[in-house]
Amino acid sequence: MHSILLLSALALAQTPTDNTPVQPRNPDEILAAQHAAYDAIANVPRETPTTRVARAVQPSVVFIETEGSRMVRRGPFGSTTIPVQGAGTGVVVHEDGYVITNYHVVRGARRIQVSFAGEPVRHLAELLSYREAEDLALLRITNKGSLDPAHSANTSEEQPLGLTSAGIVRRAPKVIDIPPRPYPAVRMGTSSDLMVGEVVVAVGNPHGQQHTVSNGIVSGLHRDIQAQNLLFRDLIQTDASINLGNSGGPLLNIRGELIGINTVMNVSAENIGFAIPVDRVRDVLEDELFPSAHRAWIGIDLGEGQTVTSVVAGSPAAQAGLCAGDRILSIADRPAASPVDWTHASLQLTPGAPSILMVQRGPQEVRMTLIPWSKSSGILWKHLGLRVREVASGRTPYIVVTAVREGGPAADIGAQIGDLIPAVRPMEAGSRPASLVRNRRDLAAIVESMTTGTMLEIDIYRDDDRNQEYGYEELYKGALLKH
């Protein structure tokens, strides 16, 4: 206690009592020190790995805007439709303009537009295919679009769309033709070797702030998350900022390679976001989204080395002269000698439009002209052995058989050209009741959903008395086996 009191007394004794002001540092010294500090960092590179990634990937990232509608109640007596808008992000995965994004970004949209950073054009895009359980969708950029209003000098050419629910006239920019061009695609990486703590970069359009870049780290791996009525498994967790509008955008490693698609965030916490691993994205693209996106059907199966293993009898390929053993070289003037090249080249085929097919047959290259069918026509021909077209009997639409493949399921039950098909019913466990069939797409969708080897009960009207009228006595029933 004595020593403590002594120290306190000494401290009091040393305290100035004359209020002498403390002398500041020499201002010249302060300025000189500051200048020296700035000189020392003047040549420090401002470019960082994040800036390099942002510059590399920016041409591949698109801002997605959607327009749709939804029903809302207007008091106790009814409801009305109101317009809704949405936004998100996507990334180009092939130079032909194929874009991957989250399905929830474009679900229910009647109009989809995409735009690139620094460009005055908004491209119209079409939804080609989706996998709702994985929350992934494949878009294609079209050759139609509009000028961004901020860049359009002549807004008088805008076209009225009508009145909104608030009574205000809405206008849409004039649609213009956009010259086709290759689109820069993101470089694909792998998610199989990700490390917790690894630096990552997220690019997106949070809250409409276009082409925003943020960085962070991989905070965790193999996360299972319940969101949007879906269970997401094996996600990447990151603390890079992922907000509303980032959905569908790329998560990249420090080499600028795609390692995930940003999909969900934890709204109750900060800096917790999740991305779908790129390896799963790649599998869904190759196994589901790209195959489902085909509009045309030619009727072949391919094996190793792009060798034709089978040709469906009577199909476009058979009509063109393609044979088992032929090796595909190109189609529609595009190389198709690898599975990836074939996938993207065949996506360009249009039903009914002739395309040149080049194949290797023994030592010779053979050129042939191929006229693809629609995908729905191909499904019916391959699995049921028939082709149909839409007709109307009175006010009721039906489909009528226009061709029957010899030896096919339809031929086996005696189906004939001219038969009308009003309804079908899959005969498998848990199947739904009979469905009315109004067009070939309806029938194709039912057939495609069935398991190979199951039966399809089918109703057929046949004009036996040739009076162009169909009575109950002219109704036949049969069952087709899906091949």
* HSE, side-chain direction, 13 A CA sphere, residue 23: 2
| 107's tokens | 């679900």
Looking at 3.40.30.10, 2.30.42.10, 3.40.50.2300, 3.30.920.30, the CATH number of the domain 294-371 comes to 2.30.42.10
| 433's tokens | 């009741």
| 458's tokens | 């089918």
> 55-73+81-177 with 187-284: one CATH topology?
yes
Whether CATH 2.30.42.10 fits 382-481: yes
For the chain, the C-alpha Rg in angstroms (whole number) is 32
User: Please, what CATH class does the domain formed by 187-284 belong to?
Assistant: mainly beta
Domain range list for the chain = 55-73+81-177, 187-284, 294-371, 382-481
Q: Give the contacts of 313 (CB within 8 A, at least 6 positions apart).
A: 405, 406, 407
Beta 169-172 vs 250-253: how paired, if at all? unpaired
Instruction: Write down the CATH superfamily of domain 55-73+81-177.
Output: Trypsin-like serine proteases (2.40.10.10)
Taking a C-beta distance cutoff of 8 angstroms, is the pair 278, 190 a contact?
yes
Tokens 């019913």 label which residue? 425
Sign of CA dihedral 122, 127, 128, 133: positive
Q: What is the pLDDT along the chain (483 residues), one digit of tens a residue?
A: 444 444 444 444 455 555 666 666 788 888 999 999 999 998 889 899 999 999 999 999 999 999 988 777 666 666 777 888 889 999 999 999 999 999 999 999 999 999 999 888 999 999 999 999 999 999 999 999 988 766 555 444 444 444 343 444 445 567 889 998 999 999 999 999 999 999 999 998 877 677 889 999 999 999 998 876 778 889 999 998 877 778 899 999 999 999 999 987 665 556 788 999 999 999 999 888 998 898 999 999 999 999 999 999 999 999 999 999 999 999 998 999 888 889 889 998 999 999 999 999 999 999 999 999 999 999 999 999 999 999 876 677 889 999 999 999 999 999 999 999 988 998 876 666 788 888 899 999 999 988 888 899 999 989 887 777 777 778 888 898 898
How many angstroms separate the CA atoms of 360 and 338, rounded? 14
The most distant pair of C-alpha atoms in the chain lies apart, rounded to whole Å, by: 128
How many angstroms separate the CA atoms of 81 and 103, rounded? 22
pTM exceeds 0.85 for this model: no
Crossing angle between the packed helical segments 440-449 and 375-383, to the nearest 10 degrees: 50
| 378's tokens | 């191909």
How many angstroms separate the CA atoms of 135 and 100, rounded? 10
Taking a C-beta distance cutoff of 8 angstroms, is the pair 152, 173 a contact?
yes
